[in-house]
Structure 1
Amino acid sequence: SEVNLQKKITWRTSPPSATSRMDVSFLRSVPAALMAAEMVLGLLHWALIAGASYWRVSAYGWVMFVAVALWILTALLFLVLLFSVPQRLSAVPWTMTVMMYNGVAALLYLTAFLTNAATVRQFQGSFHGQIGAAAFFGAALTLLYGAGAYLSYLDWRADGGNAATSTVPT
């Protein structure tokens, strides 16, 4: 009873710190750097598209969907890995999950990039350069997600290619 009282007093005077749950080593990893670059370039990509009159060309609905959805999902995955959720949810095959996410994201961005690049000529005036820049960022993001998929594949293979294991990508 005295021990429980001591725990309550300790907790009330010094609440658990959120930083103690952060995986600081993840921040120094190559996958974290790739994800940070994906988030920055992804934000630039969809901001360039949103700033143009993209609704004039119906194909840009797809490009905008891919850009915004993957930007949000990448930010969420980054937070999941940063706050060590994989260590708490060991039932999820995280290495394979991250590999599949990056692979699907690379394919989706490839389709968005091709759609974007194929329709740049339909924009005249000031939006022409803006849509062209968006196509460039779409290509860069396709390569970044592809690199993330390759690194995730290497982690998965190093893990034995077993979907049932619970190791976390590094």
Structure 2
Amino acid sequence: MADFPGKVNTQTSSPQSQTEPMNIMNVSVDFNFIKSVTGILLLVEIAFGLLVWPLISSAFYWYPPAYGWVLFVSITLWIFTLALFTMLILGIRLKLPSIPWPITLLVFYVVASALYFTAFLANVVSIHYFQDATYNHLAAGAFFSVCVTVAYIASAVFAYLEWKGDGGNAAMTTVPV
């Protein structure tokens, strides 16, 4: 028993990163994101989406019930896309690495593409109710809704390519020596 030290410290320490609060407020604007394909597509989706819902709401949209769906989809996705653009340009994607961003963006763009496509179809099918001055507003809304749909599909394709090129399977990317 003489060999056993008299004072033994049995306390364990935790890493400092777990006890410190996460600092999200330290964000910076990434102007290179605007020059990327994803940034340009998001700006196109915001701009054309901003044209869709005012054009629809300026007509008598309550007459055929399908325009309620068109307005819901266009306004909701415009707000979500604006929020996503803000998050990506401020670099919050890098501040929250626990979120699987490639698959999250892919799911968002695929769902947005499907919803906007149904809104486009509802818009096109319901135009025949109008033969007055609002016909042009609804036709322009249909045109811009198909443009937004194509932009969301293109974003979904680029998100899919980012997801597949991310190297998510660690077993396939490691090389034994």
Q: Which residue of 1 aligns with 2:85?
A: 78
Question: Which one has a bigger Cα radius of gyration?
Answer: 2
Q: Which residue of 2 aligns with 1:168?
A: none
Q: Distance in 2 between matches of 1:88 and 1:64?
A: 33
Deviations, residues 136-167 of structure 1 (Å, cap 9, x unaligned): 111111111000000000000000355xxxxx
Q: Distance in 2 between matches of 1:30 and 1:132?
A: 28
Q: Distance in 1 between matches of 2:123 and 2:109?
A: 20
Q: Which residue of 1 aligns with 2:20?
A: none
Q: Distance in 1 between matches of 2:167 and 2:122?
A: 37
Q: Structure 1: give runs of 5+ residues left out of the alignment.
A: 1-17, 163-170
Which of 30, 43, 57 in structure 1 is aligned with 2:64?
57
TM-score normalised per structure 1: 0.82
Which of 88, 97, 104 in structure 2 is aligned with 1:90?
97
TM-score normalised per structure 2: 0.79
Q: Distance in 2 between matches of 1:31 and 1:113?
A: 23
Q: Structure 2: give runs of 5+ residues left out of the alignment.
A: 1-25, 170-177
Residue pairs, 1:13-162, within 5 angstroms: 21-161=28-168
Segments ≥4 residues shifted beyond 2 Å: none
Q: Distance in 2 between matches of 1:62 and 1:147?
A: 23
| Larger proportion of helix | 1
Aligned residues: CA RMSD: 1.5
| CA deviation after TM superposition for structure 1 residue 83, in Å | 0.5
**Identity between Structure 1 and Structure 2 (%):** 41
